[in-house]
Structure 1
Amino acid sequence: MDLDVFVTAHGAEWDRLETLLRRKRRLTGAEADELVALYQRTTTHLSLLLSSAPDPALTGRLTSLVARARSKVTGARPSSWRDAARFFTTSFPAAVYRLRRWWIPTAVLSLTVAALMAWWIAAHPEVQSTLGAPQQLREMTRPGGEYEAYYSNHPAAAFAAQVWTNNAQAVALCLVLGAFLGLPVLWVLFQNMLNLAAGLGLMSSAGRLDTFLGLLIPHGLLELTAVFVAAGIGLRLGWTVIDPGPRTRRTALAEEGRTALGVAVGLAAVLFVSGLLEGFVTPSALPTWARITLGVLAELAFLTYVYVLGGRAARAGETADVDTSDRAAQLPTAA
């Protein structure tokens, strides 16, 4: 391509598009039609330029023109309550359902590892001694000790907010670090399972496993499910770096990254419910069976929500990605 000839042939169109974009007054119908036509032509010109004779200065100018023209043509679509309702009834459950083949095996494997580590800790006093001095372990596991007092030492509202913040950070780490081939996600998971196994193992060795489960289950089922969902999706994002499939790696990461971001917002709401359970139900005076029942019902409600609403949306073709109109423009490449 002769760059000078190309600029001479189309420069007037670019100047006219620049003029229309600078207009402060409302465009007439004819001017609006002209703007759309010039936007389409300039997009084609930019694609030809990128594929044949890239010039940094000219490419920068046309990229800016195309972006501004696209904004002018498509306009800004304000968010609404309808968008929020659609997200929580369609997009979020569909994303969790669609990626169930990642987070369900993650949950099963993680809980298996936690159970094995808990058994190892409970059955081997020498392992327990590496976790703390005998006096410290007795203080942690005795009636009214640290494990029980943890849930009642602070005002319920403040404790619920703190729990929500801490869990949201763990979930965010799983989703954000997934792009690093998923390896940091495995470390976050291991740390969570190790903490769980330590509690199970120590309380079991003290003959108080029932007490620990009575404190854990009311909020822990929903909380751990949220962590497993985040970890599974983080691992999926890491695998996308390795194998993007038929998409380009950049496109695949963009699509999966947008899905992960949406899931993070949805899981924040799930963890808010879990935090309320941990702050108000777990330390309450309700009988153990009542607290466990509330926790089980919350977990079943979430799974039903994912498999009923999410399954229906996924089967209807919901991809959980943002609308096409809200995505960055994909420029065609000339052959």
Structure 2
Amino acid sequence: MNAPAFFTAANFRAEREGDWARLEALLDRVERKSPRRLSEDELIELPRLYRATLSALSIARDTSLDAGLILYLESLSTRAYFLLYSGRQPWRRQVVDFFRSGWPRSVRALLPETLLAAALFFASAIGGYALVVSEPQWFGAIVPDALAGGRDMQASAAFLRDSLYGAPSRGGLEIFATQLFTNNAQVSILAFALGFAFGVPTMLLLAMNGAMLGAFYAVYVPHGLGWGLTGWLSIHGTTEIFAIILSGAAGFHIGRAVAFPGVRSRMAAAAQAGRRAALVMIGVVLMLLVAGLLEGFARQLVMQDAGRFAIAGTMLLLWIAYFALAGRTGGPGRG
């Protein structure tokens, strides 16, 4: 009588990786060229391979196999899903599906990178604050003169207070706000685009932006205006900083795939990670647009700290609830 076979990760992979490799090869060919390049037999084979991959993904999750394999199967099944189904949907349905499930699922898949990006950003803000408080000369090295606009360590309390609560028609803070938004948009795009360099430039950009935030707090806090600065920044900053952190997470996601490709080549790993990160970045652009509207209108109309914090808190809760709950059922690789 033969001894019973035991389930192992090695056996699981050996029995199924032929199907995965075959599916990946067909997807690569379609994405490089066109579905018309597939034969009739290959077109029939695609749905079978997709279902087999979904089944393997379900087993891998239920048995808690290694995270790298689960991530690979999620990516593979998502690519196959969009190839098989998204082309049959009108563009309006694809837009709805992006907001309903595609974007929030992609953000949830980047949770470890998001936590890392957030920790780095806020740790850098604390470091920048401490550095400027101890040595005020550092402010000029951290914050460009054009962005500071006179809001430096020599500024008076009256000038700083007016910058937070003065009438919008005076224009000083509006120029500063536009410069800050432009800077943050550039940082977001670069943090994502440079992620392929093992995430190092992404790390530096997040640290630089966080230190800049801390440096401004070092200017306002000694004058008793830290709370007011927080209210002024947060009315659009809960959206804008969230977008920066997500763009950093997207860059880290690509960098991790390049540094640790697993069973795939670095190019294939980076390509798969890039597709997921690109979905996140489409949403980041939309978040930056929302932040721009909040900055241009809500911040101008709401001059009281309580109102600013109410808007900021509402936006933050909406983003967290959306990313945590949307797209939890249906489709490939359920969240």
Is TM-score (shorter-chain normalized) higher than 0.5? Answer: yes
Contact 1:122 1:204 in 2 (8 A): no
1:114 aligns with 2:125: yes
Q: How far off its partner does 1:150 sit? A: 10
Q: How far off its partner does 1:173 sit? A: 1.0
* 1:138 matched residue in structure 2: 154
- TM-score normalised by length of structure 2: 0.63
1:80 aligns with 2:91: yes
Unaligned runs of 5+ in 2: 1-37, 44-84
Residues 316 and 77 of structure 1, relative CA distance in 2, 3 Å threshold: closer
Matches within 5 A, 1:102-251: 102-125=113-136, 127=138, 137-139=153-155, 142-143=158-159, 147-148=163-164, 152=168, 166-251=183-268
Residues 251 and 166 of structure 1, relative CA distance in 2, 3 Å threshold: same
* Number of corresponding residues: 251
Q: How far off its partner does 1:190 sit? A: 1.8
Q: How far off its partner does 1:274 sit? A: 1.3
* 1:301 matched residue in structure 2: 318
Give the match's secondary structure for 1:138. Answer: coil
Contact 1:164 1:272 in 2 (8 A): no
Identity %: 26
Match of residue 277, structure 2, among 260, 274, 293: 260
Matches within 5 A, 1:251-330: 251-310=268-327, 312-313=328-329, 317-318=333-334
Structure 1 runs of 4+ off > 3 angstroms?
Answer: 35-40, 76-79, 123-168, 313-316
Q: Larger C-alpha radius of gyration, 1 or 2?
A: 1
Higher relative contact order (CA 8 A, sep 6+): 1
Q: How far off its partner does 1:261 sit? A: 1.5
- 1:115-172 Cα deviation digits (max 9, x unpaired): 1321332244454586789996333754357853899455999998876655333221
Residues 151 and 237 of structure 1, relative CA distance in 2, 3 Å threshold: farther
- TM-score normalised by length of structure 1: 0.63
Unaligned runs of 5+ in 1: 1-34, 41-73, 320-335
- 1:262-315 Cα deviation digits (max 9, x unpaired): 1111111111111111111223244211111101110110010001115x1599
Residues 37 and 138 of structure 1, relative CA distance in 2, 3 Å threshold: closer
Q: Distance in 2 between matches of 1:288 and 1:317?
A: 43
* 1:94 matched residue in structure 2: 105
Residues 37 and 291 of structure 1, relative CA distance in 2, 3 Å threshold: closer
Give the match's secondary structure for 1:244. Answer: coil
Q: How far off its partner does 1:206 sit? A: 2.6
Q: How far off its partner does 1:108 sit? A: 2.1
Residues 85 and 156 of structure 1, relative CA distance in 2, 3 Å threshold: farther
- The root-mean-square deviation of aligned C-alpha atoms, in Å, is 3.8
